[in-house]
Amino acid sequence: MAQGYAVSTLRFNMTHNQIEIGCDRSGTPNDNKNHSKTVTSRNLDCPFRLYSRKYSKSTTWTRKVKDPGHSHDATENIMANPAFRKFNVKETSQIAQISE
């Protein structure tokens, strides 16, 4: 978040203690042909992915970044991104302090 990019959990497998985190702009853009209204999609097929796994005999998580790059620019105003607006007032102020 401090870099102007929001991430979200794409997949979580509790059985194998695996998690896949991706950019909130990942995913293919929606096709507007089937909608009666003109709708827009925030998805830009951003390739950023982070995989993490906790092995049963370990207390630490391993991380692997599949693609560290983004296919879009960072958000300059964090409140312009819907993913950031999910936070409460205290969390938003902490994010703003980190971003300075």
Q: Classify residue 83: in a domain, yes or no.
A: yes
* 21 vs 95 pLDDT, higher one: 21
Q: Classify residue 88: in a domain, yes or no.
A: yes
Q: Classify residue 78: in a domain, yes or no.
A: yes
Segment 2-26, tens digit of pLDDT: 566 777 777 788 777 888 878 776 6
SS (H, E, C) the chain: CCCCCCEEEEEEECCCCEEEEEECCCCCCCCHHHCCCCCCCCCCCCCCEEEEEECCCCCCEEEEEEECCCCCCCCCCHHHCCCHHHCCHHHHHHHHHHHC
Segment 27-68, tens digit of pLDDT: 665 666 666 666 555 656 777 888 888 887 777 888 888 877
Model confidence band, residue 1 (pLDDT cutoffs 50, 70, 90):
very low
Q: Classify residue 71: in a domain, yes or no.
A: yes
Tokens of 41: 């999609």
Q: Each residue of 74-85: b (16+ CB within 10 Å) or e?
A: ebeebeebebbe
Instruction: Please report the pLDDT score of residue 79 as a whole number.
Output: 60
Instruction: Please report the pLDDT score of residue 65 as a whole number.
Output: 82
Query: Does residue 43 contact residue 52 with C-beta atoms inside 8 Å?
Result: no
Q: Classify residue 2: in a domain, yes or no.
A: no
Q: What is the residue range of 82's domain?
A: 7-33+40-99
Query: Does residue 20 contact residue 11 with C-beta atoms inside 8 Å?
Result: yes
pTM higher than 0.85: no
- Domains of the chain: total: 1
